[in-house]
Amino acid sequence: MCQHRRMSNAKALPLLQPAVEPCCPPLTERPLTGEEAERAAAMFKALGDPVRLRLFSAVASHENGEACVCDISDVGVSQPTVSHHLKKLKEAGLLSSERRGTWVFYRVEPAVLATMGAVLTKAAAS
């Protein structure tokens, strides 16, 4: 079974700022170039699948912004599919992972998330 909660808070992650450079300017500032659009679209695309969005939300809403895979796997697809989607989110830079014993914990990258939000909200506020 899945009984890791005893160690879930045992070690806080270092959380060193990953120096995220913004993918692109706000969408209303000027038309995006091809390369800017390529980078930004990859992030939006990662959230553009219902299963991935549920997984991401499950991690983000979990305590300390991190969760064991076994805590969030109940989204109606098989275990390999869950693993596949978590890999995609990681490749997009939205999640990072760390192994702790038997379990693997996924954690949100807050800076990247803030960047994506600013790209949209600054656009809406114009």
Partner DNA sequence: TGTCAACATAGACGTTCGTCGATAAATGAG
Partner DNA sequence: CTCATTTATCGACGAACGTCTATGTTGACA
CA distance 126 to 117: 14
Which of 44, 79, 91, 100 forms a contact with its own copies (CB under 8 A)?
A: 44
Query: Residue with structure tokens 């990953």?
Result: 18
Q: Is 9 in the site for its own copies (CB under 8 A)?
A: no
- Considering only residues 45 to 74 of the shown chain, the ones binding DNA according to CB under 7 A are 45, 48-49, 51-52, 68-70, 73
Please, what is the minimum distance in Å from the beta carbon of residue 63 to DNA? 15
DSSP assignment string, 2-34: ---HHHHTTS--------PPPSS--TTTSPPPH
Task: Based on the shown chain and the rule CB under 7 A, indicate whether residue 104 belongs to the binding site for DNA.
Answer: yes
Q: In what order do the strands lie in the sheet with 95-100?
A: 66-68, 103-108, 95-100
- Rg (C-alpha) for the chain, rounded Å, is 16
Chain positions contacting its own copies, by CB under 8 A: 27-32, 34, 37-38, 40-42, 44-54, 56-58, 60-61, 65, 72, 75-76, 108, 110-111, 113-114, 116-126
Chain positions contacting DNA, by CB under 7 A: 1-2, 45, 48-49, 51-52, 68-70, 73, 77-88, 97, 99, 101-104
